[in-house]
Amino acid sequence: MEEDQSPLDVAVGRMQQEFHVEEGEIPSFQRQERDHQRLSDLSVDNTSGDTLVIVKFPKGDFVNCRGRQWTTKEFLMQSEQLLATGSSVFANLLSPRVQAQMRRRLDGEYEAHQYVLDLTPQVEGDESASEVAQLSLSHGVREWWRSHYFLHISKYLVAGHDDNCPYHLEALIADEENQERMKTKGTRTKPIDIDELENPRPRQILDYCPIRHRAAILRLLLAIRGDDLVLNSASRVVTTAMVAKQFDCVNIVGGPVLSWFLAEPNENFIDVNAEDAFKISWTLELQETARVAFRILVTERAIEIPTDRSEGVFRRRQESMFQRPRGNLTDEQETCVQHAAQKLIQRAEELWAGLLSKNPRKYLGISKSPTYSPAIWLQIRTYVSQVAEAATTDAQSNDTFLFNLQDGNRARFVSDARIIATRSIFEQLLPVQAVLTSFFWDRLSSYSSQRHLRWEAVTSAFPEFWDQFAAAIHKLYVKWASPRLEVNIARNGPLVLGLSDEEFKFLPLWAGGLDDGTGGVFQPEIPNALHGFPIEPGPVFITGESIPDIDTSTEDGGTTIYTGTETVTMTQGYSVQATRSHTIKTDYDDVNHAALATTSRHSTLDSVVGADATVPRTVGARHIDEDFDWTATGSDCSDLSDLGGSDSDFGFEEIGHDDGDIEQATNTTAS
Domain boundaries, the chain: 7-266, 288-511, 524-671
Residue 414 banded pLDDT, cuts 50, 70, 90: confident
The predicted structure's pLDDT at residue 538 = 52
What's the rounded mean pLDDT across residues 82-92?
Answer: 97
Judged by average pLDDT, the poorest of 163-167, 447-451, 490-494 is 490-494
Rounded (10°) angle between helices 463-480 and 438-449: 160
Rounded Cα distance between 49 and 189, Å, is 55
Rounded Cα distance between 581 and 544, Å, is 7
Q: What is the pLDDT of residues 607-656, one digit of tens each?
A: 343 444 444 444 444 444 444 443 444 444 444 444 444 444 433 333 34
Q: What is the pLDDT of residues 364-408, one digit of tens each?
A: 998 877 677 888 888 889 999 999 999 998 766 667 778 888 887
* Exposed/middle/buried for residue 257 (C-beta within 10 Å: 0-12, 13-18, 19+): buried
Residue 537 banded pLDDT, cuts 50, 70, 90: low
187 torsion bin: left (phi>0), alpha (psi -120 to 50), beta (else): beta
Amino acid identity of 111? Answer: E
The predicted structure's pLDDT at residue 661 = 44
Amino acid identity of 250? Answer: V
DSSP 614: B
Question: If we measure between CA atoms, which residue out of 374, 372, 288, 275 comes closest to residue 326?
Answer: 275
Q: What is the pLDDT of residues 38-74, one digit of tens each?
A: 999 999 999 999 999 999 999 988 999 888 999 999 9
Query: Is 447 within 8 Å of 390 (Cβ atoms)?
Result: yes
Q: Is the CA virtual torsion 411, 414, 419, 422 positive or negative?
A: negative
Residue 562 has pLDDT above 60, yes or no: no
Residue 447 has pLDDT above 70, yes or no: yes
Query: Is 53 within 8 Å of 152 (Cβ atoms)?
Result: no
Rounded Cα distance between 87 and 248, Å, is 5
Amino acid identity of 669? Answer: T
Rounded to 10 degrees, the C-alpha dihedral 299/302/306/307 comes to 70
Judged by average pLDDT, the poorest of 295-309, 368-382, 464-478, 635-649 is 635-649
Rounded Cα distance between 484 and 266, Å, is 19
Amino acid identity of 597? Answer: A
The predicted structure's pLDDT at residue 353 = 95
Which 3 state secondary structure label does DSSP give 117?
Answer: strand
Report the DSSP beta bridge partners of residue 598.
576
The predicted structure's pLDDT at residue 595 = 35
Q: Is the CA virtual torsion 480, 482, 487, 492 positive or negative?
A: positive
Tell me which of 523 and 76 has the higher pLDDT.
76
- State phi, psi for 405 to the nearest 5 degrees: -60, -40
- Cβ count near 469 (within 10 Å): 23
Query: Is 543 within 8 Å of 581 (Cβ atoms)?
Result: yes
What distances in angstroms separate CA 308 from CA 302, 330, 344, 658, one per listed residue? 10, 22, 15, 55
Question: If we measure between CA atoms, which residue out of 621, 534, 635 comes closest to residue 577?
Answer: 621
Residue 532 banded pLDDT, cuts 50, 70, 90: low
Rounded Cα distance between 178 and 341, Å, is 40
Q: What is the pLDDT of residues 241-251, one digit of tens each?
A: 999 999 999 99
The predicted structure's pLDDT at residue 21 = 65
Cα of 86 vs its chain's centroid, Å: 28
Judged by average pLDDT, the poorest of 106-120, 437-451, 509-523, 558-572 is 558-572
Tell me which of 329 and 597 has the higher pLDDT.
329
User: Order of strands, edge to edge, in the sheet holding 73-77?
Assistant: 73-77, 51-55, 115-118
* Start-to-end C-alpha separation, the chain: 116
Rounded Cα distance between 149 and 182, Å, is 6
HSE at residue 319, side-chain half, CA atoms within 13 A, is 10
* Exposed/middle/buried for residue 364 (C-beta within 10 Å: 0-12, 13-18, 19+): middle
Query: Is 166 within 8 Å of 204 (Cβ atoms)?
Result: no
Tell me which of 654 and 529 has the higher pLDDT.
529
Judged by average pLDDT, the poorest of 46-50, 416-420, 497-501, 503-507 is 416-420
Which 3 state secondary structure label does DSSP give 246?
Answer: helix
Question: If we measure between CA atoms, which residue out of 396, 46, 88, 374 comes closest to residue 227?
Answer: 46
The predicted structure's pLDDT at residue 418 = 84
Residue 572 has pLDDT above 50, yes or no: no
Q: Evaluate the omega torsion of the peptide bond into residue 256 and state whether it is cis, within 30 degrees of 0.
A: no
Helices (H), 438-531: 438-449, 456-461, 463-480, 501-504
Residue 262 contacts by C-beta under 8 Å, 6 or more apart in sequence?
487, 488
Rounded Cα distance between 168 and 398, Å, is 48
The predicted structure's pLDDT at residue 218 = 98
- Rg for the chain, CA atoms, rounded: 35
Rounded Cα distance between 537 and 523, Å, is 19
Q: What is the pLDDT of residues 105-127, one digit of tens each?
A: 988 788 889 999 999 999 888 88
Query: Is 419 within 8 Å of 410 (Cβ atoms)?
Result: yes
Residue 589 has pLDDT above 80, yes or no: no
Residue 330 has pLDDT above 90, yes or no: yes
